[in-house]
């Protein structure tokens, strides 16, 4: 079974008010979003779950994915939990935090969902390659 950290790259095609769990809906602007997560038991199954339309909503990302399709998935297979360090690195070049605490209720990160007006794929690829090389 693979272990590791993943990034979901999503595109929201227009401004939307989205309710995350029981929270009051928040305005998410049109653009690109990168969500950072980890799976220390079965990375492939976790990613497949996110890609599935048929699921019970449990995590913050489940509500968001109901509105913003995944356009790319990146993974770093590692027994080291890199979720928070990767999220902090992505935060350095993201444009702003839309919802504090998104996906980070079990850590001290401000958020694990990062917003970009333009597609950040090139910068994400560079960062993920660098981090993956550091853990090998």
Interatomic CA distance for residues 47 and 8, integer angstroms: 9
State the pTM of this model.
0.94
Tell me which residue of 96, 108, 97, 75 sits closest to 9, measured CA to CA.
75
> What is the predicted pLDDT for the residue at 68?
96
Interatomic CA distance for residues 48 and 39, integer angstroms: 12
Cα 40 to the chain's mean position, in Å?
Answer: 16
Cα 120 to the chain's mean position, in Å?
Answer: 13
Residue 1 has pLDDT above 70, yes or no: no
Asked if residue 117 lies in contact with residue 15, where contact means CB atoms within 8 angstroms, the answer is no
Task: Tell me 96's DSSP state.
Answer: B
Averaged pLDDT score across all residues of the chain: 92
Residue 136 has pLDDT above 60, yes or no: no
Spell out the residues 6+ positions from residue 88 whose beta carbon is closer than 8 angstroms to its own.
109
Tell me which residue of 5, 3, 1, 2 sits closest to 82, measured CA to CA.
5
The percentage of the chain sitting over the pLDDT mark of 90, rounded to a whole number, equals 77
pLDDT tens digits, residue range 50-99? 899 888 888 899 999 999 999 999 999 999 889 999 999 999 999 999 99
């Amino acid at each position: 079974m693979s272990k590791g950290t993943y990034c979901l790259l999503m595109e929201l095609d227009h401004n939307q008010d989205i309710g995350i769990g029981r929270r009051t809906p928040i305005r998410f602007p049109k653009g690109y979003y990168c969500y950072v997560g980890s799976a220390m038991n079965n990375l492939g199954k976790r990613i497949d779950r996110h890609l599935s339309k048929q699921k019970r909503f449990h995590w913050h990302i489940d509500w968001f994915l109901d509105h913003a399709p995944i356009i790319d998935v990146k993974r770093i297979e590692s027994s080291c939990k890199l979720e928070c360090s990767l999220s902090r690195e992505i935060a350095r070049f993201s444009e702003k935090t839309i919802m504090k605490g998104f996906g980070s209720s079990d850590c001290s990160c401000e958020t694990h969902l990062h917003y970009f007006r333009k597609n950040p794929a090139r910068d994400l690829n560079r960062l993920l390659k660098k981090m993956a090389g550091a853990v090998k």
